[in-house]
Structure 1
Amino acid sequence: MEANRLVEARPLGLVLLGGAIGTAGREGLHLLLPAEGGIPWSVFLVNIVGAALLGALLAHLAAVEPETPRRREVWLFVGTGILGGFTTYSALATDTVLLAGSRLGLAMTYAVASVVLGVLAAGIGFRVGRLSADRRADRRADPARGGRA
């Protein structure tokens, strides 16, 4: 195999491995939290938590590291792979359709709450990630805290 093809395969491998980890985590949570009263709580939870973690990862990577091959690999493995596999729009859509067959109001509430809370969680995660990165940068710059001047 040519060296260039091997380099091109690496990003795909990172997404593949991360996706397997994230999807396994989602399925594990689904097994621990079966739908109660027709409400798929595990899908709701993974989408909200995943959105918050994606926001935090995005903010952290943007704040602490310039665009580099390493940063791209972290994003592909953790963001696209693990968290992309963990969260699931298709399950949200399918669960909403299934709920709508018997409980239209609940289905619409579930879908809207998932999207609105997901956006809020992503924003909160982004803010927390940014604060964490800012604190880390302050510690590195402050000689009194063991950082460099």
Structure 2
Amino acid sequence: MLPNILPTLLIALGSTTGTLLRYWVGLATARWSNTLPWGTIFINFTASFTIALFAALTAAGGRVHVSDTTRLVFMVGICGGYTTFSSFSLQTFDLLQNGHLVRACLNVGISLVLGMIAVFLGVMLAQPLNRA
């Protein structure tokens, strides 16, 4: 069975939007990314926060009611296009391959900790908004 074409196209459009946002943020942060990939770290942090906030606000019983398609467009399309886990993995591998063990560990640690903080903040921010 083929999926409904409209949600598929909307998700693809969302992915394009997320990809362009990632590219622009990468350009804007390139000058800070000489020793660590700060652009990727920032993108992963903001993506983790945004997807958690949106998921919590639009979940069953959440304050914001949206269609399943809207959730898919935002969470799969936009956030999927915006996040950079594959870039993170490759950059970490490159750091290791070039003998920068400490930088590689910092990249993993900072990305993991900030990602978890972002998810926590997104969920915490959504809770009072869901009660209002």
TM-score over 0.5 for the pair = yes
Could you list the runs of 4 or more consecutive aligned residues of structure 1 that deviate by over 6 angstroms after TM superposition?
A: none
Partner of 1:129: 126
Q: Greater relative contact order: 1 or 2 (C-alpha under 8 angstroms, separation 6 or more)?
A: 2
Query: Normalization by structure 2: what TM-score?
Result: 0.87
Long gaps (5+) in structure 1: 136-149
Q: How does 1:39-58 map to 2 (within 5 A)?
A: 39-58=36-55
1:73 to 59, 69, 72: 69
State the alpha-carbon separation in 2 of the partners of residues 38 and 98 from structure 1.
12
1:95 to 84, 87, 91: 91
State the alpha-carbon separation in 2 of the partners of residues 102 and 42 from structure 1.
21
Q: Tell me the percent identity.
A: 24
The structure whose Rg is larger is: 1
2:101 equivalent to 1:104: yes
Long gaps (5+) in structure 2: none
How many angstroms does 1:79 deviate by?
1.1
State the alpha-carbon separation in 2 of the partners of residues 109 and 39 from structure 1.
8
State the alpha-carbon separation in 1 of the partners of residues 44 and 33 from structure 2.
17
Give per-residue Cα distances to partners, 1:52-90, cap 9 Å, x unaligned.
011100110011357xxx521111111111111111110
State the alpha-carbon separation in 2 of the partners of residues 54 and 44 from structure 1.
15
Query: Normalization by structure 1: what TM-score?
Result: 0.78
How many angstroms does 1:37 deviate by?
2.6
State the alpha-carbon separation in 2 of the partners of residues 71 and 127 from structure 1.
23
Partner of 1:29: 25
